[in-house]
A and B are shown apart, each in its own frame.
Chain A
Amino acid sequence: SGEKDASADVSSNGYQKMEIKLSHVAAEDTPKGQSAIKFKEIVESKSDHTITVKVYPSGQLYGDNDEIEALQANNVQIIAPSAAKIGGFNKSFEIFDLPFMFKDHKALYSFEDGEGGKKLLSKVDSAGMIGLDFWPNGFKHVTNNKREIKAPEDLKGLKVRTHGGEIINDVYKTLGAGSAKIAFNETYQALQLGTVDGQENSLINFESQKYTEVQKYMTLSSHARSEYVLLANKSWWNKLNDKTKDLLNEAIKESTKTGRELEDKYEKEAMEKIKQSGKVNIHELTDDERNEFIKKLQPVTDKWSKEMDSDILQKAKESNQ
């Protein structure tokens, strides 16, 4: 029954009359939330409201664990899950979790906008989905309550809450730490009471989830990237006419740009708030310290690189130069 909406009639302005449901799990005032709103604004205004976009933020409609199936069933047309989650279809998506894979934003964006990114997005094709673009969230940093982390040994014996994933688990295992999966809504208290010692997150998430209140040490490690993949239902997308597709593509491009600008802005604001709280000791890894980590984690990189598309990996490495 999900067939009939996409082939719907065409308006006199050439756009297909339809309603697009876009569901995601982040709050509205995050880069992803604002990207989604930007997408809605462009599509609706340029199509003269022939196309309406309903955005469902904060996991109101579907959460991390059911949005993909809802997309495959065309109950929603667009979602933006984390890349790590898409690793369940193709390991190459976990490239963002490979330790220290991307040096900085410039490297990341040049990968995403180039051949490597395009090839990576095409990897979801067989699963009834179309990869549209990457939406940013931020580099991940590690925080904890026990000690300042400057060297790989400092992590030994720490229990770190992560969102899971085989590569992440391996990273912490190699560093002599344990990666624990604590439910999102119990993490605050788990950090407060020491059920786990630390966690890893982007600056924006760290601040919005109020972990400033319950964490003492932050290391700006940028050891991995928290990234979202914008996905559409494949059969729905394929039934769009060229004019509609062009409009959506244009809106996606614009909203990605918005997301990238806002990531920068929100990260600075989050950093400011974290500093202002005066509760978190912040350490930025020096190049030497960073190299120590890279060396220590080389086996993890080697092991999981084998499971990824070598061409994509090559492109990612080139982007750092």
Chain B
Amino acid sequence: MNKWNKRYSLFEDIFSGVFLIGGLALIFYEVIMRYIFNSPTTWITEISAVMVTWGILLGMSVALRDKHHISVDILYTLLPQFLQRKIDYFANIIGVIFCLFFTWGGIELIKNAFESGQTSMDTGIPLGFYYFVIPISGILFMVRFIGNIYEVWSSRKETGVERKLNLEEDQNEYSSAF
């Protein structure tokens, strides 16, 4: 299980990383072409921005996995443990609903884009292709919310102390930003 979890995480990192880094690299290329070779293009500008957008959206699940998304703890910390667990379930279920909405909306959008046949101004690429990232990232994001629900469920027998330790461990793992 753990091995697969690691592989899946690596897949998430590489998938979003390729787009994010690739997009930034293209911007660098465009700067070089414009400033040194005096030959700017508009298509690189378009493609690079789309690639960065892909990287960012695919990264939503990476951010959830590594606990980057920001939420407000004011009420949570005041509540007893059994209510905290209820909130954990609730928040993650809302997350899943959001992902379903996001994915469904993305599919509708893609259908609409191909039906009406709109292409981009600078490359002529059908815009529908650019939107594929929406359902894909929605599903990846949802996988992580479901994973969170599973974690809450599997920790149902933990005592308060164990839970606290686990939470701290979670945080330590990712507080090594510097």
A and B touch in the complex (CB under 8 A): yes
Give chain A's interface residues, CB within 8 Å of chain B. Answer: 68-69, 72-73, 84-85, 87-89, 126-128, 157, 159, 162, 164-166, 169, 178-181, 195-196
- Write the B6-37 contact mask toward A (1 if CB under 8 angstroms, else 0): 00000000000000000000000000001000
Contacts of B118 in A (CB 8 A): 68, 88-89, 127
Report yes or no: B46 in contact with A164, Cβ–Cβ below 8 A. Answer: yes
Question: Assuming the A-B contacts A87-B121, A88-B121, A165-B122, are A128 and B116 also in contact, with contact meaning beta carbons closer than 8 angstroms in the complex?
Answer: yes
Report yes or no: B40 in contact with A179, Cβ–Cβ below 8 A. Answer: yes
Report yes or no: A85 in contact with B121, Cβ–Cβ below 8 A. Answer: yes
A127–B114 Cα distance when bound, in Å, is 10
Since A126-B117, A196-B34 are in contact, a sample of 4 more A-B pairs with Cβ atoms closer than 8 Å, ordered by chain A residue number, is A72-B116, A89-B118, A164-B122, A169-B43
Q: Which residue of A lies closest to B33 (CB)?
A: A178
Q: CB within 8 A of B122: which of A128, A181, A196?
A: A181
Q: CB within 8 A of B116: which of A126, A165, A196?
A: A126
Question: Assuming the A-B contacts A85-B121, A165-B122, are A178 and B116 also in contact, with contact meaning beta carbons closer than 8 angstroms in the complex?
Answer: no
4 closest Cβ pairs, A-B complex: A180-B40, A127-B116, A178-B40, A181-B42
- Write the B69-89 contact mask toward A (1 if CB under 8 angstroms, else 0): 000000000000000000000
A128–B118 Cα distance when bound, in Å, is 11
A321–B121 Cα distance when bound, in Å, is 31
Interface residue? B171 (CB, 8 A): no
Question: Assuming the A-B contacts A88-B119, A127-B116, are A169 and B42 also in contact, with contact meaning beta carbons closer than 8 angstroms in the complex?
Answer: yes
Task: Give the shortest distance, in Å, between B115 (CB) and chain A (any CB).
Answer: 8
Question: Assuming the A-B contacts A69-B109, A126-B116, A127-B116, are A196 and B46 also in contact, with contact meaning beta carbons closer than 8 angstroms in the complex?
Answer: no
A169–B45 Cα distance when bound, in Å, is 13
A242–B130 Cα distance when bound, in Å, is 40
Interface residues of B, count at CB 8 A? 22
- Write the B45-57 contact mask toward A (1 if CB under 8 angstroms, else 0): 1100000000000
A126–B45 Cα distance when bound, in Å, is 29
Q: CB within 8 A of B42: which of A72, A157, A162, A195?
A: A162
Contacts of B121 in A (CB 8 A): 84-85, 87-88, 164-166
Report yes or no: B122 in contact with A178, Cβ–Cβ below 8 A. Answer: no
Contacts of B112 in A (CB 8 A): 69, 72-73, 128
A181–B34 Cα distance when bound, in Å, is 11
Report yes or no: A178 in contact with B38, Cβ–Cβ below 8 A. Answer: yes
A179–B46 Cα distance when bound, in Å, is 13
> Tally of A-B residue pairs with Cβ under 8 A?
66
Interface residue? B146 (CB, 8 A): no
Q: Which residue of A lies closest to B126 (CB)?
A: A88
Task: Give the shortest distance, in Å, between B36 (CB) and chain A (any CB).
Answer: 12
Report yes or no: B117 in contact with A181, Cβ–Cβ below 8 A. Answer: no
Q: Which residue of B lies closest to A124 (CB)?
A: B116
Q: Which residue of B lies closest to A182 (CB)?
A: B45
Interface residue? B120 (CB, 8 A): yes
A205–B127 Cα distance when bound, in Å, is 28
Interface residue? B39 (CB, 8 A): yes
Contacts of B38 in A (CB 8 A): 157, 159, 178
Contacts of A181 in B (CB 8 A): 42, 45-46, 122
Question: Assuming the A-B contacts A89-B116, A178-B38, are A166 and B46 also in contact, with contact meaning beta carbons closer than 8 angstroms in the complex?
Answer: no
Report yes or no: A178 in contact with B39, Cβ–Cβ below 8 A. Answer: yes
Report yes or no: A166 in contact with B122, Cβ–Cβ below 8 A. Answer: yes
Task: Give the shortest distance, in Å, between B20 (CB) and chain A (any CB).
Answer: 19
Q: CB within 8 A of B34: which of A85, A87, A166, A178?
A: A178
Contacts of A169 in B (CB 8 A): 41-43, 122
A196–B116 Cα distance when bound, in Å, is 35
Task: Give the shortest distance, in Å, between A98 (CB) and chain B (any CB).
Answer: 15
Pairs A–B under 8 Å by Cβ, sample size 23: A69-B109, A69-B112, A72-B116, A88-B127, A127-B116, A128-B112, A159-B38, A164-B42, A164-B45, A164-B46, A164-B122, A165-B121, A165-B122, A166-B121, A166-B122, A166-B124, A169-B42, A169-B122, A178-B40, A180-B41, A180-B45, A181-B42, A195-B34
A85–B120 Cα distance when bound, in Å, is 8
Report yes or no: B42 in contact with A179, Cβ–Cβ below 8 A. Answer: yes
Q: CB within 8 A of B117: which of A69, A87, A89?
A: A89
A87–B120 Cα distance when bound, in Å, is 9
Task: Give the shortest distance, in Å, between A6 (CB) and chain B (any CB).
Answer: 18
Task: Give the shortest distance, in Å, between B128 (CB) and chain A (any CB).
Answer: 11
A89–B34 Cα distance when bound, in Å, is 30
A159–B41 Cα distance when bound, in Å, is 10
Task: Give the shortest distance, in Å, between A270 (CB) and chain B (any CB).
Answer: 26
- Write the B104-115 contact mask toward A (1 if CB under 8 angstroms, else 0): 000001001101
